[in-house]
Each structure stands twice: as structure tokens, then as C-alpha cells.
Amino acid sequence: MSLTPPSIPLRAVLVAALCGPCAAHAVDLRSPDSFDAVANKTERSRALFVEAGKVIQSPRCLNCHPVGERPAQGTDMHPHSPWVVRGADDKGAIGMRCATCHQSTNFEASGVPGHPLWHVAPKSMAWQHRSLAQICAQLKDTRRNGGKSLAQIHDHMANDSLVGWAWSPGGGREPAPGTQAQFGALIGAWIETGAACPR
């Protein structure tokens, strides 16, 4: 006989029981001024993006930027369970919409994350299995970034509340490194120094 209802994943119950509110804390991010010693502006820009890449390539971001139709979950980035697909509007298929399970806030009792705008990133913004240099080029390409300028990319990363979820993921999940403010500052400094991509 199961000790938990089928609607509550056993893993989430175990994490909650073992960790409760003590979600692991990720490492801090370096500040933009810590790169001032890099005299070459292009190299400084690349270094800033590599530091921001600690967030971009964290599971909190990669899970929602899938290459295929199915998002991932967990620190090990395993395929989403239950089986879901992105759907035509990136909010799930008919009959299995993201909002069916992902409500407006994290639901700590089950470990299900939440946000009012929960969805996966568009296919053009797929990051999984891509190098940081490839992601950087993608971010700068208006054909693959939703038609956004670099200023709009910065605003999205620095201020968007769904992006901000990565630092308050609930369910015992490890948050993205640093804070959204630190991440936004790195992206801003990267743009100011020429938005150079890592090699």
C-alpha cells in the first residue's frame, strides 16, 4: 500500500521530509567590477558572459529551455514526469496544459513549482545540449530570440518574474547561482562591453 497519494511524487515528499525549508544554497556570482582587471574589452565581455553562464546553464534554466518537445526537471535534468509536451503555444498540449499542475505559486506540499506565467521557452530559445558560445550567439540573433534587442534581453533576464523563479524554486531545489540582480548586472555589463561571445 502506497504511503503517498499518486498525485504527490514520492521524491518530492522525501525531499520535503529531509530538507523542508532548507533548500540548498547555490554559489554566489562574481560582480561585474571584479572583471575590471581584464584590460581587453572583448575578453572582459567574454568573461562576463561566462560568469552569467553559471545561471544560463544551470538546471533551473536549462529545464525550461528544452531542445525537443518535452521539458526536463530536477538537478539531473531528467525528462518531465508526467509526460508532457510544449504544445502550440509553449504552455502544454490540449488536455495537459502546464497550468493543470503548475499553479500561480510553488506548492510546497507536493513540491510542484509554480508561477502565473509558467511555460517552456520557445523552440528558437532551446539551450539544452548547446555550448555557452552557441547560447550566446542565439541570444544575440533576433531571428532566434523572439525579435528582442539586447536591451530587451537584459530587461528579461534582470526583471522578468518567471526568470526570477530560478532563485526561489521551492521544493528543496537548488536555486540558480547568485541572485537575479547579480545576474542582471552581469548581463548588463556584458552588453556594455560589446556583448562578445565565448569562443
pLDDT by residue, tens only, the chain of 199 residues: 333 333 333 333 333 333 333 344 457 899 999 999 999 999 999 999 999 999 999 999 999 999 999 999 999 999 999 999 999 999 999 999 999 999 999 999 999 999 999 999 999 999 999 999 999 999 999 999 999 999 999 999 999 999 999 999 999 999 999 999 999 999 999 999 999 999 9
pLDDT of residue 27: 77
pLDDT of residue 7: 38
User: What are the contacts of 66-69 at 24+ separation with CB within 8 A?
Assistant: 66/120, 66/121, 66/126, 66/128, 67/126, 67/127, 67/128, 67/129, 67/130, 68/126
pLDDT of residue 26: 54
C-alpha cell at 133: 558560445
Q: How far is CA 16 from CA 3, 22, 36, 61, in A?
A: 15, 9, 42, 22
Number of Cβ within a 10 Å radius of residue 75: 12
Whole-angstrom Cα distance, residue 185 to residue 154?
9
Strand partners for 93: 96
- H helix runs in the chain, sequence order: 10-19, 41-56, 59-62, 98-101, 132-140, 150-159, 161-164, 180-192
C-alpha cell at 64: 525550461
Whole-angstrom Cα distance, residue 196 to residue 19?
40
Please provide the size of the chain in residues: 199
Whole-angstrom Cα distance, residue 28 to residue 73?
22
Cα–Cα–Cα angle for 124, 30, 78, rounded to 5 degrees: 40
pTM over 0.75: yes
Cβ neighbours of residue 96 under 8 Å, at least 6 residues apart? 82, 84, 85
